[in-house]
A and B are shown apart, each in its own frame.
Chain A
Amino acid sequence: MAWAKNILRVNLTKGTCTNEPLNMEWADKYLGQRGLATKYFVEEVDPKVDPLSPDNKLIMTTGPLTGTSASTAGRYSVVTKGALTGAIACSNSGGFFGNEMKNAGYDMIIFEGKAKTPVYLFIDDDDARLLDAGEIWGKSVWDTEDWIKEHHQDPMIRVASIGVSGEKGVLFACVVNDYHRAAGRSGVGTVMGSKNLKAVAIRGTKGVQVKDYKRFMEATAAAKKVLAENAVTGEGLPAYGTQVLMNVINETGALPTRNHQTVQFEGAHAISAEAMVEPRKSDGKPNLVRNGACFGCTIACGRISSIDRTHYTVAERPQYQIASGGLEYEAAWALGAATGVDDLDALTFANFICNEQGYDPISFGATVAAAMEMYETGVIDDKVTGGIELKFGNERALTELAELCGRGEGFGAEIGLGSRRLCEKYGHPELSMAVKSQEFPAYDSRGIQGMGLTYATSNRGACHLRSYTVASEVLGIPEKTDPHSTEGKAGLVKAFQDATAAFDSSGTCIFTSFAWTLEDVAPQVDAACEGEWTAEKLLEVGERVWNLERQFNNAAGFTAKDDNLPARLLKDAAKVGPAKGLTNQLDKMLPEYYELRGWTSDGVPTNETLNRLSL
């Protein structure tokens, strides 16, 4: 029930696809998706493995609710050892691919080994086969998806694939499904490319069952009502998307600008949600075409955008004069405020390219920002950049690099190293704004203290989706805390981390947590799944998953020293705005966090903690 209780194991070296039953004992302890796939991964893979070697594995995984009518229940994740980070990676995506995988009868697909030549996995319910990808290797995500649907003469196939950047080893490549939904971070697409696996194409027609339909319909209806009546999930996100945050975070003085040199961006309004709905001069239409939903989502925060047809990026290129995935807040920040570019159409174009060629706009924009700082301070010059004038605010440099990075060519290939490797290469590691080699998202931890601890302790490197304390510190959800204070933040971060891991393991979207608590999730999981599922049990699953990920990272060679922030955030105070004069006070929060976690002062879970969590 809810679980398909079936795994597909694909050995790319041997070219075999075999079914095996899902380990239900583990399902009871790790629920699904992020938790359950991580359990499989750590049981099967040496933590010291080179992420790009055939010995690394890659798991595509659904949650038990995936494919049901619970709101947002279409999620799937890609779990592997990240190419960018060398840490456990779990990148979550919406769209319609996860639902299709579940409908074909699979909880997860485990890829191991490496194909001799490029292949794609084709699944038609029980029929799973590896097919030659010779004709699509070298194609973009968009062309790959079109080719597969035409080749199999089936427009209802759902596809997840990598673009050219993933083939060429850009270290922050994504796996993109449904043209513009992405398992975006940590270089999961790079791992897929290293296995010569171009795409996974699925047609699923079996359906998804739940344990108790009557109770499930009641629980999901009640939970949908909670989302509809909440100001964030019922009004803000549908109307403005995550971009509703741009002006809010800028006013908070926590919008990292020009590689975190300052915390407010004078061009914030020009790249905000409000700007996306303003009619433009050329045709009177706004950037935002409409909002779009992922499978089963009653929030529908997704942006569908178009670029001004007279803009330099598309004027001569009709193939980009379309409606496609528009700017989400993190992408708008990384492509915009981080690089000092305030041209909405240039950012939208760069975002299209990120989707088309399959790479992470956050790491890309943040790495371009670091390169811009090196260029402006004379560390690198035109010879290095191939003649690109890499100054902050230069939109043409941004869009040119977006295309080069997408093809893994020229200086775009160096951007594809990510900021840590790029800045080390040119002798300035301090200019990389990253934790565990993964670039920060769009919140400056000098102005939002809890996010400093969030980033430092995130198991997949700097990330906002592991404990979004912005909800509490800025938006007042579930209750307002002072963003400038470190008091209570260790507990706040732990609580958000554990709850988030539980949401992620269920198959629902973390954005529901603006309105839902685990008290809203539990009745839905309980009605769908065998066993008894309470909010307490879900929270315990979340804490168990967090510690399991931590154990993997420790075994991979990470230590407490890696739970750190760049010196810029710890030593250079914010120069403007409400947080003026503040640095991030990580040292005041980290020891308390370790203690609350039941870890030693070196960040290692104690035996007592492991026993308590049955690890």
Chain B
Amino acid sequence: MQRSLVIDPGKCTGCLQCELACSYDNESIFNPSKSRIKVFSFHDKGRFVPYTCTQCDEAWCMKACPVDAISVDAASGAKIVSDELCVGCKVCTVACPFGTVNYNADTGKVIKCDLCGGDPECAKACPTDAIVFVDANWTGLERMRTWAEKTDAGQQASA
């Protein structure tokens, strides 16, 4: 079964444990500035919103890459950058409509979420389940369950 990262900003407290886990897994150091997932704080609205690559099926980054450095991992569906092939031209960062592919000036390569080989560290590190890794075909299941319960409660009350 293929899985997807599902993010619920309503549960996010903005603690950045996901960024710490991501940078440690990818860079072997705690360094939020090298995280593939970013948490945005809209401080005067009281909103914290994690954001990362959604692994598009027809990935613009992959199609734009002139040296075929981005490939699909068949098992996880992740679009993965090969550091061997990447020449740091940054065309993928322009092509991505969501901004989730970014250049790392320290290495001269681009970085993006690779789903940690199918077991994303950000989801494991999240203390509030704001980031979960679930069945790619049923990312709406939990939300449906919540509304199913609410609908049923309403019907019971009116009955």
Contact = CB atoms under 8 A, between A and B. Distances in A.
A290 B14 CA distance: 11
B136 interface: no
A322 B125 CA distance: 30
If over half of A's interface residues share one DSSP class (helix, strand or loop), that class is named, otherwise mixed; here it is loop
Contacts of B27: 207
Given A207-B23, A290-B46, A103 B31 contact: yes
A208 B16 contact: no
B108 to A, nearest CB: 15
A292 B17 contact: no
Interface in B1-34: 13-17, 20-21, 23-24, 27-34
A68 interface: yes
Given A69-B20, A69-B24, A179-B43, A291 B30 contact: no
A228 interface: yes
A205 B24 CA distance: 13
B20 A300 contact: no
A177 interface: no
Nearest to B106: A205
A289 B43 contact: no
A292 B47 CA distance: 9
B33 A204 contact: yes
Contacts of A296: 15-17, 20
Nearest to A155: B40
A289 B33 CA distance: 28
A206 B17 CA distance: 17
B29 A207 contact: yes
Contact of B31 (A96, A179, A208, A213): A208
Interface in A265-321: 289-298, 300, 304, 306
A69 B43 contact: no
B123 to A, nearest CB: 14
Nearest to B15: A293
Contacts of A156: 33
Given A207-B29, A292-B13, A298-B127, A323 B46 contact: yes
Nearest to B16: A295
A301 to B, nearest CB: 10
Nearest to B10: A290
Contact of A324 (B16, B23, B30, B44): B44
Given A207-B23, A289-B46, A69 B32 contact: no
Contacts of B15: 293-298, 300
A494 interface: no
B31 A205 contact: yes
A217 B20 CA distance: 11
B103 interface: no
Interface string A175-199: 0001100000000000000000000
A207 B48 contact: no
Contacts of A292: 13-14, 46, 48
A306 B46 contact: yes
A542 B16 CA distance: 29
B17 A298 contact: yes
A213 B44 CA distance: 36
Ranked 3 nearest A-B pairs via Cβ: A207-B31, A323-B46, A293-B15
